[in-house]
Structure 1
Amino acid sequence: MRYSYIKAREKTVFTKDIQLLFMFFGVTLFMLFSTYAFLVFKDYRFKSEIDDIVKQKVEFRTNISNMNAQITVVEKQSLFCEKVFTKNSVLKESINNLFDLVPSRITLSEAKIMQDGLILYGITPNKDVYNFMLQAPLRSIFHRTYSSFYPAQNGWLRFVSTNYIDEEELSGAN
């Protein structure tokens, strides 16, 4: 027997409200898991970037130490070059002063410059010209001065003048 004009519908546990509730919880769980996965991925990326930065930091420090070593070498070379340039300038000036010191009546044939002395070879008209015009200035510069004379074929005298600065004076000046 039937008391209703409509057909009875089947009742399920999954009503529209429950389906909507499950969909809401599903979307919520999906968003939570995707957020968690995103945060895990970002944490991994941050850790790898930190490792890269640490490696770069170590590399930069080694590069800086290498550059400092190279700077030290270049500074030493610069000081050495400056020292050589200064010595060359002083030597050039000394040679110019030496040739300015030699009078026109005396002719030099050879000059040997040593660390602590000077040896001159040349020709002079006589001993007096040598003694007054060259020996006197040499004695004012050097501590010990020795001269030897030999007759030349043209009547002039050949001379060898050895002049030394004492070592104590050199070390005291430095």
Structure 2
Amino acid sequence: MSSSLRELLSNPLLAEQLLSEAQTRGFVTAMAAAPHLLDPAEWLAFLWGGEETAPFASQEELEAYANAIVNMWNESREALLGGTWQWPEGCALDDKELVTEDTRDFAEGLLQGWQLARDDWETVMPEDSENSALLGGVLLCFSLLYDPENAIDALAQEGADGLAQFEEIFASVPMMLCGLTMRGYELVNADAE
């Protein structure tokens, strides 16, 4: 994350109005993974709650924020399509809480972003298609990471070693998210031909 974006997100006047750093990364990653390119002008305001008026003190601050978000989107899109995307710094498993707060926040941001691209995903990967299973698997992983305590309980009720399964889920997310992004990209481009 750029230092200018980190500064803006840590500004006490903006911190209450903008998604946190990890939530922002999750949201932007969801936008970068979307099968159709979504213009940032369509979704940028969701990073401050969807309000018409941006919470920035000046036009320059808004432009700096928007440019940093677009740069983050570009980096994420390239990594997802290149199969090199990895969990951002701070996202990890945690001995006490199962996952770090950043992991939960990233998952929350990604799930919020997915809601904006949901129609595109469901069009490209209809419910009864084999691709739908890939989409469902990725969403399930992020839902479990957002609420790990209930995930561990559910896995244990199914007779699985909840913690071991949870570690596997966390470790598999980068590959699954890259695979989903690449598959969505392939499907959209196949339809365009």
Band of TM-score, shorter chain: under 0.3
If asked which structure has higher relative contact order (CA below 8 Å, sep 6+), I would say 2
- Please, what TM-score do these two structures have when normalized by structure 1? 0.22
TM-score, with normalisation over the residues of structure 2? 0.21
Tell me which protein shows more strand as a share of its residues: 1
Higher helix share: 2
Q: Which has the larger radius of gyration?
A: 1
